[in-house]
Amino acid sequence: MRIIRGKYGKRRFDVPHNITARPTTDFAKENIFNVIENIEDIEGKDVLDLFAGTGAISLEFLSRGAKSVTAVEMSSIQANFIRSVKEKLNDEALRIIRGDVFKFLASVKKPYDIIFADPPYDHPRFAEIPSLILSSGAVKPGSLVIIEHNASHDFSSLPGFDQHRAYGSVNFSLFRLPDPDLEA
């Protein structure tokens, strides 16, 4: 696994063979971060990474200057791998929560500036995940929400839908709930 850019750019970490996560390809990761950085300044932002997997997205946000990154991952193998990378980087801005994303979303009260979710494509509740995120306490007006998905999902009818991007077989839907203070 490679961190593409930022203070940890070009650092590589060997992912254990027993990790079951499907990491975002470098091609898709590089392109979606170009899009994110064109619409949002990552530096100083609080970021939430749901279904964090290998932590590649969390680490990319961290490397690009996020104030804090919270990675939520259910698998102990994957959460332990993210924890081991955090220790190697010695960066306290990364917080790892080993737990269920659905329970986290049901109880979270802290809003984040940027939320990234990469659920397993075959997750039985995949189709409801964007709505759960958008209606959770993790989102505030102006939050940028990015959902990674395959081509069989279309989330353009959900509130706050902003744009869709596709890089090979990897798709991203981006949302931003309007900030009423900025529209007045």
Task: Give the CATH number of the domain where residue 68 resides.
Answer: 3.40.50.150
Q: Which amino acid is at 20?
A: T
Would you write out the chain's pLDDT as a tens digit for each of its 184 residues? Answer: 999 999 999 899 988 888 888 778 889 999 999 999 999 999 999 999 999 999 999 999 999 999 999 999 999 999 999 999 999 999 999 999 999 999 999 999 999 999 999 999 889 999 999 999 999 999 999 999 999 999 999 999 999 999 999 999 999 999 998 776 665 4
- Token pair belonging to 46: 């609080």
- The per-residue pLDDT for 184 is 47
- The answer to whether residue 162 is domain-embedded is yes
- The answer to whether residue 119 is domain-embedded is yes
- The answer to whether residue 68 is domain-embedded is yes
- The per-residue pLDDT for 183 is 54
- The answer to whether residue 168 is domain-embedded is yes
- The answer to whether residue 101 is domain-embedded is yes
- Total structural domains in the chain? 1
- The answer to whether residue 117 is domain-embedded is yes
- The per-residue pLDDT for 159 is 92
- The answer to whether residue 15 is domain-embedded is no
Phi then psi for 6, rounded to 5 degrees?
100, -165
The overall pTM is greater than 0.75? yes
Q: Write out the residue range of the structural domain in which residue 155 sits.
A: 41-183
- The answer to whether residue 12 is domain-embedded is no
Phi then psi for 61, rounded to 5 degrees?
-65, -45
Helix, strand, coil percentages for the chain (3-state, nearest 5): 30, 25, 45
CB 128 within 8 A of CB 135: no
